[in-house]
Chain A
Amino acid sequence: EAQVTQNPRYLITVTGKKLTVTCSQNMNHEYMSWYRQDPGLGLRQIYYSMNVEVTDKGDVPEGYKVSRKEKRNFPLILESPSPNQTSLYFCASSLRGAPYEQYFGPGTRLTVT
């Protein structure tokens, strides 16, 4: 089944404890992206990748890191999480190297205390 998977789905952590949210797609898509969703703000793009080893900042990259060493994986790293990073995170992928029809993962709900 064609899909985007994210792990974990739910995470409660403490301020400053490094964490990684994994994202994997099995559709051989070139484009991958991370978003955060906060009430009243819609989705905001954190980072995106147009292909392997090519990443760039979205609108809200501060406090996040990403890497794209393989085409299928695009992990999101929070080196030192803070409470303002409490949010619902989505990973998405698109066939071409730009966000056309995007397939989204199920989301990761992160709480930082």
Chain B
Amino acid sequence: AQKITQTQPGMFVQEKEAVTLDCTYDTSDQSYGLFWYKQPSSGEMIFLIYQGSYDEQNATEGRYSLNFQKARKSANLVISASQLGDSAMYFCAMRGAPRSSASKIIFGSGTRLSIRP
């Protein structure tokens, strides 16, 4: 069975520092995809970044990068130069392999990130 684990329920980081949010996963699929979503206090869910299991390079989107370590089954989100607006809940998620479970997606329990001014 697939599983996503986020071990940090909450984190405090000083503004302008870089922050790493941990995510480990478990799957027997060879092909899968990993996501990060942000949920501000207003409640909406915002897509941040996607990494395919066969992508050779780590995904990056602006200040967000995904540190993908396939052998360790980890997909950590790195936010560079954190800003007050980065304070939010962050969810790691995974979809399964094509032709079997590609359309299913599971989410971790989330990490609440708080940025201190």
Contact = CB atoms under 8 A, between A and B. Distances in A.
A90 B108 CA distance: 16
Contacts of B56: none
A63 B25 CA distance: 28
A40 B46 CA distance: 19
A61 to B, nearest CB: 11
Interface stretch (A20-28, A43-51, A73-81): A43-51
Nearest to B92: A42
Nearest to B33: A100
Interface residues of A, number: 27
Q: A interface, by DSSP: helix, strand, loop or mixed?
A: strand
Interface residues of B, number: 24
Residue from B91, B98, B104 having most chain A Cβ neighbours under 10 A: B104
Contacts of A40: 109
29 contacts: A31-B103, A35-B107, A40-B109, A42-B4, A42-B6, A42-B91, A42-B109, A43-B93, A44-B107, A45-B104, A48-B105, A50-B103, A56-B103, A58-B105, A59-B104, A59-B106, A88-B43, A97-B103, A98-B103, A99-B95, A99-B103, A99-B104, A100-B50, A102-B37, A102-B47, A103-B47, A104-B46, A107-B43, A107-B44
Interface of A: 31, 33, 35, 40-45, 48, 50, 56, 58-59, 88, 90, 92, 97-104, 106-107
